[in-house]
Amino acid sequence: MHLQYTLDENDFLDFQLYTADTAPAAQRKRRMIQYAFAGMYVILGGLMLVVSKPGLAVFLFALGILWWMFYPKYERKRYQNHFRLHIHEHYQDRIGRPSSMKFTDKGIVSQNSGGEGILPYTELEAIQETGRHIFLRLKSGVALIIPKHQMENAAEITSTLQQLAQEHHIPYTTQLNWTWK
């Protein structure tokens, strides 16, 4: 099977956001910041009630509730902006340039503006499928991005990769409804 596609900024952004969203450490950090600051404001509000400052207590309680409600929206935008800057710094030479990928008996032949390489299937750590992309994660920490929305034969590609994952004992994760939240 031979694939040809062009990656744009949103393909790289979706990969970065998916990685941040599914990494357990990043999930813990995001929850911790949301709840820790909200809790801190509520505790300070409680202390203000104890020292007879009800106006400040109400303000701190309200601030804690507002933080808990609106911080996730702010954080989502912050992550997107951070990753956009990262993409412009590190992937600018790959955006908008044609890439190709071919699945052979020996491995994956990948070709892009940086050159050509053969990746044996034993180097695949995981295959992750979302509604718009398939990410082939390598043991070295990098990943190959396949934009399903550019492929006419996305079902065939998915089927081939599922079969490949089964043959080589590679974890295959499907999250077709994934969105950045």
Strands (E), the chain: 2-6, 98-103, 108-112, 115-119, 124-130, 133-138, 143-147, 172-175
Residues 40 and 15 in one domain: yes
Residues 85 and 99 in one domain: no
Tell me if residue 105 falls in helix, strand or coil: coil
Flag whether 128 is in a domain.
yes
Flag whether 180 is in a domain.
no
In angstroms, rounded to a whole number, what is the distance separating the alpha carbons of residues 129 and 136? Answer: 9
Q: With beta carbons less than 8 A apart as the criterion, state whether 135 and 143 touch.
A: yes
pLDDT in the model for residue 127 = 96
Domain-ending residue, one of 57, 90, 123 = 90
Residues 57 and 112 in one domain: no
**Token pair of 5, please?**
């596609």
pLDDT digits (tens, 9 = 90+) for 79-129: 999 999 999 999 888 899 999 999 988 899 998 877 888 999 999 999 999
Flag whether 111 is in a domain.
yes
Number of domain units in the chain: 2
Domain-ending residue, one of 70, 90, 110 = 90
Q: What is the mean pLDDT of the chain?
A: 91
Q: Can you list the residues of the chain whose pLDDT is less than 50? A: none
Q: What b/e sequence results for 15-35 when a residue is b if at least 16 CB atoms lie within 10 Å of its CB, and e otherwise?
A: bbbbebbeeeeeeeebeeebe
Flag whether 27 is in a domain.
yes
Residues 85 and 115 in one domain: no
- Domain containing 171 equals 2-7+95-175
Instruction: Give the pTM.
Output: 0.84
Phi (first) and psi of residue 113, to 5 degrees: -65, -20
Query: Over pLDDT 90: what percentage of the chain?
Result: 67
